[in-house]
Structure 1
Amino acid sequence: MTNGRLINSIDQHREEIVEFLQKLVQFNTEVSEYGRIGNEGEAQEFVADYFKKMNLEVDVFEPDNKRIRKYFGFMPGHIYKNRPNVVGTLKGKGKGRSLILNAHMDTVPAGPVSEWKHDPFGGETENGRIYGRGVVDDKGGLTAAIMAVKAIRDTGISLGGNIILESVVDEEGEGNGTLSCCDRGYKADAAIVVDSIDPITDVWVAHPGVTVFRLKAKGRPGHYCLKYTPQQGISAIDKMRVILDGLDKFQTERLAYIRDREYFPRVPIIGVDKICGGEYRAVFPESCYIEAGFDYFSSEIGEKHDDSLIREKIEERIRKIEQGDNWLRENPSSIEWLASILPVIIDKQHSIVRVLKDNIEKIAGCANLVPGKTTNDARHLFHITNVPVISWSCGGQAVHGIDESIEIEDLIKATKILALAIKDWCGGK
């Protein structure tokens, strides 16, 4: 009976749900400089006003770098003037389990607007889809979370436990927004991070960690024509290639001792996303540096809440590779650690997994428990507040790409799934 009321209410408010997402997309909330600078303020003000209309307890606050810099994973140098988090709490009667729903307002840049068929900030619809930057990542998820709680309100369902709705900033810049929510004391019996790039049927029960570093190799300048002579130069780019080839082999070797392969079946990845070397034509480059991300899994850090063991393994392997090269043995590379995202894992039998999975099956027909392909803010909830956390969202296409879009039907289904999960988890009547 209660389930039917929720589903009917969401169906009746279908147009309102679509319009809400369109409104969010029409706010340009792009971040720049990897999240150091953002533009979420106006959109967050809109959300705060909406929460007030829903009669939620509303908390609006800007991340405080001085407070949160003590936490592992803090990203320094980001500016939060007019970039507030907005948290809305629906109080329960105190006899049920509490739940955090976390989603982010910021988006990556739209890129070349001329390549979009649809205005990236228009929220346009075509053939049953909504288009726009962030419609998948993560304004669709944020909309589903907010509208699910609104459905609970609209139907007069009374909850036993609290619902905490977190609309956060700076997820794309490594998560200081959620970090500050944790620091502010927001905690629950479980959390769903409504942020995923997978289909609506897929629940993330884990995601890998990644350590980001800058590696610099040395060379010796000299004219190309002197190669194979006693006066030859040494190419720093060639020496970097030696190191990278060795690290690629290391990735495969690690499979032998990764214990949580059930959660992380794929080969861990080293992703080089920047390379710089060379000063002039016909001259062997004196230096070359890369910036890269190194995947790792939960069993590789044990009970630690930092990446120190992974850093040790990476550096140890690089030095071993260098010992096999005459030049690198005497001229080792230098490493600078730039950032780290910790892995997340949850028991597949945990009750929050079962609750969400059961309701996905009811609405979408089937559900799969999968490892996340990438990372999100779940790590802060997991490692800082020790909250059991899973990730899931509405699905979609072209995330971070041109003509990012989501099916309207999946948005409505996601809203229903979350509303039913809230009712089941928090003890709704």
Structure 2
Amino acid sequence: MNAEATSRVLDRIDGLRDELVAALADAIAIRSVNPTYPDQDYDDLVGGESEVAGLLAGLYREAGAETELFGEAPGRDNVVGVLRGSGGGRSLIFNGHVDVVPADDPAQWTHPPFTAYVDGTHVWGRGSVDMKGGLIAQAFAAKALRQAGVRLRGDLVLQGVAGEENLEHHMGTSAVLERGFTAEGAIIAEPTGALSPLTVMPATPGVLIMRISVTGRSAHAAMRARMRAEPADDPVAASAIDAALRIHDALRRLEDEWVEGRVDPLFEKGQFTIGLDVIDGGARGSRNVAFIPDETTLDYAIFYPPAAQLSEIQSEIVQTVAGVAKRDPWLRANPPRIDWPMHYPGGRTDRDHPFTRMVCLARERATLDTPFAGAPDVRPFPSATDLTWFTAAGIPAVGLGPGALTMAHSVDERCAIDELVCAARTYAVAAIEWCGAE
């Protein structure tokens, strides 16, 4: 490691602390809520992502980067900045997303969600953790490299992408990679504060959304006793909710089996789940307790090991549902329908991969004499991230970013300033280590 260059850069980052916080406050003030997020007004929100991309472009230019803004839809720009290396070094990507989730009811927040509040230790506001804090820290790492007079040998590629919060990777990270902005390693600035801050996260589970639609036969609610007494294959009525819950009971048992049957060395037992998160049921003509329900949908979020095949996961679930239908006269005659509205494959970079080891070492060196000193935890992301698309492209990638995971998408989202600074320090050290420096 170039110890003298690293020392200069770390000192410069510490000197940029107040400027970094101010830049994050500017980014939070931009309401870049993903316009396609459920129940949002697209026309009201579109353009916020481009505005954040423009802010980042200015920071990237201050770092000496060649910048480009482009998007797959108007108002939804990605931004890329490239710091050209002198040659002979490996290339590195710093990646993060510019969109945020809605803030819901601002009255629930201690401080307005889109007006950053700085209390001396934390920056409050939507996106402070997920993930404008990480994006700004990456930009300031690049800025500090330039101000410290450190020239990397390999290229450093800064990426601020649109669409991640609604799993629109085709709008963001995949579009950027397809445009040719690739490298030999990538650090994604998702918040990785798990059991301890600034955890290194080299894996993400597969995420599968499933909808099960069940049909019943409606009648007056008073017919329930008669429904139970009559032949189950042709009753006067059949509750779609009852039938759906029988299916769910079987899927709960399958989820219990996954504790031992679906495992991965980077994940703790029990992290792969079949979660029922949305139920919608009732009578088509009236959502009223006076009617036996004739339709029900169950929406599940399924998290599975990154090494597992999608077809294998789907087949196991389909067989479980089919087993319930086979034993149930009504469902046997009226089979439930299964749809798969969304799939996000898992991804992983091995714990012992040279890139993972390098990021761990960079994080340890960058946090010496700070509250975060010591070797970092190495854990998987609990949910989908754009790490998937880097590993799918053959680029080793890990997540490392400021902020507690519990703060992501939450009311009163806030990020510790010390974490922001230490994240920037880690990014800078990683760039020197991976790319080489003059």
Residue pair 1:22, 1:123 contacting (<8 A) in 2 also: yes
Unaligned 5+ segments in structure 2 are none
Unaligned 5+ segments in structure 1 are 64-79, 302-306
- 1:203-241 Cα shifts (integer Å, max 9, x gaps): 112111111122101111123322233254211011111
> How far apart are the structure 1 equivalents of 2:268 and 2:158?
29
1:168 aligns with 2:161: yes
Identify the residue that residue 283 of structure 1 maps to in structure 2.
291
Identify the residue that residue 311 of structure 1 maps to in structure 2.
314
Out of 345, 348, 352, the position equivalent to 1:349 is 352
Residue pair 2:192, 2:200 contacting (<8 A) in 1 also: no
Please state how far the C-alpha of 1:262 moved relative to its aligned partner.
4.1
> How far apart are the structure 2 equivalents of 1:201 and 1:107?
20
1:193 aligns with 2:188: yes
> How far apart are the structure 2 equivalents of 1:317 and 1:94?
56
Please state how far the C-alpha of 1:264 moved relative to its aligned partner.
4.6
Identify the residue that residue 10 of structure 1 maps to in structure 2.
13
Identify the residue that residue 116 of structure 2 maps to in structure 1.
123
Q: Which moved more, 1:348-357 or 1:220-229?
A: 220-229
> How far apart are the structure 2 equivalents of 1:313 and 1:34?
30
How many matched pairs? Answer: 407
Residue pair 2:307, 2:346 contacting (<8 A) in 1 also: no
Match of 1:394, SS?
Answer: coil
Match of 1:239, SS?
Answer: helix
Residue pair 1:210, 1:343 contacting (<8 A) in 2 also: yes
RMSD, aligned CA: 1.8
> How far apart are the structure 2 equivalents of 1:197 and 1:190?
18
> How far apart are the structure 2 equivalents of 1:328 and 1:281?
22
Residue pair 1:100, 1:191 contacting (<8 A) in 2 also: yes
> How far apart are the structure 2 equivalents of 1:103 and 1:409?
19
In the alignment, residue 290 of structure 1 is paired with which amino acid? L
1:272 aligns with 2:276: yes
Please state how far the C-alpha of 1:192 moved relative to its aligned partner.
0.8
> How far apart are the structure 1 equivalents of 2:265 and 2:435?
32
- 1:271-311 Cα shifts (integer Å, max 9, x gaps): 2222111123222111101221111112312xxxxx33332
Please state how far the C-alpha of 1:160 moved relative to its aligned partner.
1.4
Residue pair 1:219, 1:285 contacting (<8 A) in 2 also: yes
Please state how far the C-alpha of 1:117 moved relative to its aligned partner.
1.2
1:375 aligns with 2:384: yes
- 1:152-173 Cα shifts (integer Å, max 9, x gaps): 1111112111111000011101
Identify the residue that residue 425 of structure 1 maps to in structure 2.
434
Match of 1:203, SS?
Answer: coil
Identify the residue that residue 183 of structure 1 maps to in structure 2.
178
Identify the residue that residue 335 of structure 2 maps to in structure 1.
332
1:221 aligns with 2:210: no
Identify the residue that residue 239 of structure 2 maps to in structure 1.
235
Identify the residue that residue 24 of structure 1 maps to in structure 2.
27
In the alignment, residue 281 of structure 1 is paired with which amino acid? V
Out of 113, 132, 136, the position equivalent to 1:139 is 132
Identify the residue that residue 72 of structure 1 maps to in structure 2.
none
Out of 383, 387, 390, the position equivalent to 2:398 is 390
- 1:122-159 Cα shifts (integer Å, max 9, x gaps): 11111411000000000001011111111111111121
Please state how far the C-alpha of 1:416 moved relative to its aligned partner.
0.6
Out of 44, 52, 60, the position equivalent to 1:51 is 60
> How far apart are the structure 2 equivalents of 1:423 and 1:309?
42
> How far apart are the structure 1 equivalents of 2:107 and 2:201?
34
In the alignment, residue 31 of structure 1 is paired with which amino acid? N
Q: Aligned pair in 2 of structure 1 residues 158, 197: CA closer, same or farther (>3 Å)?
A: closer
Residue pair 2:210, 2:339 contacting (<8 A) in 1 also: yes
Match of 1:369, SS?
Answer: coil
> How far apart are the structure 2 equivalents of 1:283 and 1:401?
37
> How far apart are the structure 2 equivalents of 1:242 and 1:267?
24
Q: Aligned pair in 2 of structure 1 residues 310, 182: CA closer, same or farther (>3 Å)?
A: farther
Percent of residue pairs bearing the same amino acid type: 30
In the alignment, residue 229 of structure 1 is paired with which amino acid? A
Residue pair 2:188, 2:398 contacting (<8 A) in 1 also: yes
- 1:240-281 Cα shifts (integer Å, max 9, x gaps): 111111111112223444352443533411222221111232
Residue pair 1:136, 1:197 contacting (<8 A) in 2 also: no
1:41 aligns with 2:36: no
Match of 2:115, SS?
Answer: coil
Residue pair 1:141, 1:393 contacting (<8 A) in 2 also: yes
1:60 aligns with 2:73: no
Residue pair 1:251, 1:267 contacting (<8 A) in 2 also: no
Q: Aligned pair in 2 of structure 1 residues 299, 321: CA closer, same or farther (>3 Å)?
A: farther
Residue pair 1:32, 1:108 contacting (<8 A) in 2 also: no
Residue pair 1:220, 1:285 contacting (<8 A) in 2 also: yes
Please state how far the C-alpha of 1:108 moved relative to its aligned partner.
0.3
Residue pair 1:200, 1:414 contacting (<8 A) in 2 also: no
Please state how far the C-alpha of 1:93 moved relative to its aligned partner.
2.0
In the alignment, residue 219 of structure 1 is paired with which amino acid? G
Identify the residue that residue 361 of structure 2 maps to in structure 1.
358
Matches within 5 A, 1:405-420: 405-420=414-429
